[in-house]
Amino acid sequence: MSLPLELLLLAGHVLLVVWLLGEILLRQEGTSDTRLAWITLIMLLPYMGALAYMLFGGRWLGRRRRRLHAESHRRLPTFRRAAREILADIQPTVPDRLQPIFDIAGALSDTDLLGGNDLELLGRGEDFTNRAIADIEAAQETVHLLTYIFLPDDVGRRFCDALIAAAQRGVQVRLLVDSVGSKRLLRSDLKARLKEGGVQLHDMLPAHMLRMAFARVDLRNHRKILVIDNEIGWAGSRNIASPAFAVKAKFAPWVDCTVRIKGPAVHDLQMLFLEDWHAATEEEHDDLLRRVHETFEGGTDLQVIGTGPDCGIDTLQQILRTSFHAAREELILTTPYYVPDAATEVALRGTAMRGVRTILIVPRRNDSRLVGLASRSHYPDLIRAGVEIHEYEAGLLHAKTMVVDREVFMIGSANLDRRSLELNFEVSLFGWCPQFASQLRFLQMSYLNDARPVDTAKWLQLSNSRRLLGNAAGLLSPLL
């Protein structure tokens, strides 16, 4: 006698849920709230939740990517050790009370805090475009560009013209783009123009149906790196696109922050680029890492932190938390997306509760409605702790910055959300320099001038319907 279909479906449901619960609870990676969020989703939507977990629940890069990353980590430390020996006399000068930030950064990453760097802050889109293209036009040996988004708009075409011109005068030009973020470039006429012009163009982490069986397709390379002649480095939040950002024009202008670097920290940016290039192409260019870098007396202490799914899961969170704990007078953060893990938010709230002036600047209009709802679900607890929340109104504030006590600073590609903190490949610059930190704080104050403080009474007295919607989105925070 055959079993009824309903009984078979019920049995399948139970077996599927039990198997996935065991799988989730046995995972070595991830946090408790992430596990709880997945368990809740699977219990509420067993088949849809199970499918979502199998596609997006782990940090599966695929066997080939893991192998190439392991090869890079076996080979590249030799060059890091050599660089440290050469630069031994350029010692950082961080005060003792702030040293724990860089102690934890050094313990969790492959890089060190390096003195003797010359930094230039660029906070306007046209300044970045003109300055970066000028560097490419002056390149004599190599141009390495890695970006998440490369749009075939007016800015993208200007960069393409500069890259092609460099390649045609004999410069080795390597362009690495994320296959999802830069899909418009990869489907445009510029792709053929670049390759015909001698630019070595490759896309990273291809996303297609076949790859879903072997790796998680939403793990993206969100880094923005430009290295010229192994001497000049660029990093920050700026993609290769016009601030008008044609694909999401109603949220424009995109407001970014980027740093131009000369000095020993460029070596670590170059190494990060070459790791990603090796993972995409299997090519090795170790000869580019043997050059001794120029140093600047009295320059900025700077550390390059590369994070991603093939690194420690909470590297960036731990450095941020330590930075929050170190603050004594003031902490200012800007981010387009605020959906952190629980421990990072507790540290942020604790900073405000200790009497440190704590300012969080986020965009008023977010290009992701769900992420915007999840971000705002955190407002009441932040407000009660004393965090000053300001919503930027002059576009989409895309700059990811931090200044602690006008001394320690952070600029990078990582948002304060779970995707950047745990899943995507990101690059962040942490440093100590009162002069540069003050410049960055001045830029943050310009954002503050175009922002409006949130109505604390409104957020502490939400209607039941608003609270229900916000808290429901907040439940998904660990999955965003």
**b/e 32-48 (16+ beta carbons within 10 angstroms → b):** ebbbebbbebbeeebee
pLDDT attached to residue 81: 59
Residues 284, 303 contacting (CB under 8 angstroms): no
Positions of E strands within 376-461: 388-392, 396-397, 400-404, 408-412, 416-417, 426-432, 451-453
Higher pLDDT, 332 or 210: 332
| pLDDT band at residue 229 under the 50/70/90 scheme | very high
pLDDT tens per residue across span 397-434 = 999 999 999 999 999 999 998 888 888 899 999 999 99
pLDDT above 70 (res 158) = yes
DSSP 419: I
Average pLDDT of span 461-479: 60
Contact residues for 146 (Cβ-Cβ < 8 A; gap 6+): 176, 177, 221, 223, 224, 225, 226, 273, 276, 277
Residues 247, 151 contacting (CB under 8 angstroms): yes
DSSP 150: B
**b/e 237-271 (16+ beta carbons within 10 angstroms → b):** bbbbbbbbbeeeeebbbbbbbbbbbbbbbbbbbbb
Question: Tokens 């007078």 — which residue?
Answer: 329
Angstrom distances, CA of residue 367 to CA of 150, 179, 254, 363, 453: 18, 20, 11, 9, 20
* Mean pLDDT of the residues in the chain: 85
Query: Around Cβ 460, how many Cβ atoms within 10 Å?
Result: 11
pLDDT tens per residue across span 324-335 = 999 999 999 999
Domain ranges of the chain: 5-56, 63-91+116-299, 315-479
pLDDT attached to residue 415: 94
pLDDT above 90 (res 103) = yes
| pLDDT band at residue 288 under the 50/70/90 scheme | confident
State both tokens at 134. Answer: 């000028």
Q: How far apart are CA 175 and CA 199, in angstroms?
A: 7
pLDDT tens per residue across span 262-275 = 999 999 999 999 99
| pLDDT band at residue 345 under the 50/70/90 scheme | very high
63-91+116-299 carries CATH number 3.30.70.1400: no
pLDDT attached to residue 1: 44
pLDDT attached to residue 203: 94
| pLDDT band at residue 208 under the 50/70/90 scheme | low
- Nearest to 454, CA basis, from 395, 391, 404: 391
pLDDT attached to residue 459: 75
Helix (H, G, I), strand (E, B) or coil at 244: coil
pLDDT tens per residue across span 243-256 = 887 778 788 899 99
pLDDT tens per residue across span 9-47 = 667 667 767 776 776 666 656 666 667 676 777 777 666
CATH superfamily of 315-479: Endonuclease Chain A (3.30.870.10)
Same fold, 63-91+116-299 and 315-479: yes
